[in-house]
């Protein structure tokens, strides 16, 4: 509980933009927070290729302007996945240390510590 309180005050933040390659995004997230993620093609359940940009994986019906996405350790898995969907039109799923889908209610900080 104390750790989750501390996460609210830490300045640790992860940011990315839609021009990043999928492989660079995954590596940056792993290096910064120690967590893995799956990126999918156009809202499907098919994994995106590693050598394409995040923008190229967005769904065809996305009407936004592909903003940069930033999140903190205090955000939940569900919030972060939702940010990518709403700001970039990209479907991602955050994984736990066993390479399984992370609990949606878990914070990124708790996931990092697990």
Contacts of 98 (CB under 8 A, 6+ apart): none
Summarize pLDDT for 73-96 with one digit per residue, the tens.
999 999 999 999 999 999 999 999
Is residue 2 over pLDDT 70? no
Residue 81: the pLDDT is 97
Contacts of 74 (CB under 8 A, 6+ apart): 4, 7, 8, 10, 107, 108, 109
Is residue 35 over pLDDT 70? yes
Residue 3: the pLDDT is 52
């Amino acid at each position: 509980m104390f750790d989750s309180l501390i996460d609210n005050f830490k300045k640790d933040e992860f940011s990315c933009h839609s021009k990043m390659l999928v492989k660079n995004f995954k590596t940056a997230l792993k290096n910064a927070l120690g967590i893995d993620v799956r990126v999918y093609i156009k809202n499907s359940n098919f994994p995106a290729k590693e050598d394409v940009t995040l923008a190229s994986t967005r769904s065809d019906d996305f009407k936004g302007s592909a903003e940069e996405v930033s999140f903190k350790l205090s955000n939940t898995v569900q919030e972060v996945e939702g940010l990518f969907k709403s700001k970039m039109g990209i479907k991602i799923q955050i994984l736990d240390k066993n390479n399984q889908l992370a609990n949606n209610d878990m914070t990124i900080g708790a996931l990092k510590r697990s």
